[in-house]
Amino acid sequence: MSRVITVANQKGGVGKTDLAVNLSSQLAELGKRVLLIDFDPQANASWYLTKNSYKLSTADIMLNGIALDEIIVSSCVKGLDVAPSTMGLSAAQIHLSQDVNMQFKLKKKLEIISRNYDFIVIDTPPSLGPLTINAFTASDGIVVPVQTHFFPIRGLSDLLRIVEEIKEVINPDLRVYGIVLTMFDRRTSLAKEVKHVISERFGGMVFDTIIPVCVKLAEAPSHRKPICIYAPSNKIGKIYRELAEEFLTRLID
Ligand SMILES: Nc1ncnc2c1ncn2[C@@H]1O[C@H](COP(=O)(O)OP(=O)(O)OP(=O)(O)O)[C@@H](O)[C@H]1O
Ligand SMILES: [Mg+2]
């Protein structure tokens, strides 16, 4: 059985897709079988990891009764598959809001492929709408990237409250694997201050590994490659490797 991890934060542009893509890639490089499900209509992770040759997407599994294994394509990273997304997934949000069992839809779809992967990583849109709730319902745990700026920390408590509600009502086993500080610019006192505030408030929830601001990371999506392939010798690859290893130790705790 695979372990299902959702990368979520309702704030936009905090590094969710970057984390989902590079954590998945590193887990695959560590020899794990990984599936990344793009559950965002923006389809950024699909752009990042595929050659856009896919015909079916997560929109089809949510709207047209297609099975998950029918949409899966391989990526440029050995051991990493992708369930790609399209803009059409945004229609699923409306459809889902009219469906009584809406929050269980993705979870049901995962059953068929669960044995094929060690990890399933879900990239979510910047909202706490039906797609993200579906991902939470289907997950063992969540990882929350937080940009080390002021506004991103404001929504963190709201996000964790929703997770508590999902635990109480739908998925009692849902865990928060941790908060990952992203786009950390050590030259600014703001970044240090935000790091301090988050560490004080959320303590052990915060990963020791911090993702710094990195030009290569910003460049990688346009080359449609994760950092381990786009810039294998850059130190950011090593940092993502450390993050993946820390993530694996957190699963045991
Ligand atoms: N550590 C980093 N250093 C520099 N640029 C980064 C870093 N991480 C991500 N970026 C860039 O910042 C932008 C936002 O990152 P990303 O797309 O991962 O955020 P997101 O939370 O998934 O956004 P959305 O909410 O729109 O889905 C992208 O252009 C990405 O390439
Ligand atoms: Mg994204």
Tell me the per-residue pLDDT of 153-195, one tens digit each, with 9 for 90 and over.
778 988 999 999 999 999 999 999 999 999 999 888 988 888 8
Ligand 2 centroid distance, CA of 30 (Å)? 24
Asked if the model's pLDDT at residue 53 lies above 90, the reply is no
Tell me the per-residue pLDDT of 190-221, one tens digit each, with 9 for 90 and over.
888 888 999 999 989 999 999 999 999 999 98
State the closest ligand 1 atom to the C-alpha of 215, by its place in the atom list counted from 1: 4
**Ligand 1 in reach of 126 Cβ (< 6 A):** yes
Sheet of strand 175-182: strand arrangement: 73-74, 80-83, 34-38, 119-123, 3-7, 141-147, 175-182
The dihedral built from the CA positions of residue 41, 46, 51 and 57, taken in this order, carries a sign that is negative
User: At which residue do the structure tokens 């710094």 appear?
Assistant: 212
C-beta of residue 222 within 8 angstroms of C-beta of residue 232? no
Q: Indicate the residue type of 77.
A: V
Banded pLDDT at 93 (limits 50, 70, 90): confident
Tell me the whole-structure pTM to 2 decimals: 0.96
Residue nearest to atom 20 of ligand 1 (CA): 13
Ligand 2 centroid distance, CA of 171 (Å)? 24
Asked if the model's pLDDT at residue 100 lies above 80, the reply is no
State the closest ligand 1 atom to the C-alpha of 42, by its place in the atom list counted from 1: 27
Residue nearest to atom 30 of ligand 1 (CA): 218
Q: Delineate the domains of the chain, giving CATH numbers in brackets.
A: 3-252 (3.40.50.300)
Rounded Cα distance between 36 and 21, Å, is 7
**Ligand 1 in reach of 214 Cβ (< 6 A):** yes
Helix axes 215-223, 16-29, angle to 10 degrees: 80
CB atoms within 10 A of CB 148: 27
Instruction: Please tell me the number of the ligand nearest to residue 155's CA.
Output: 1
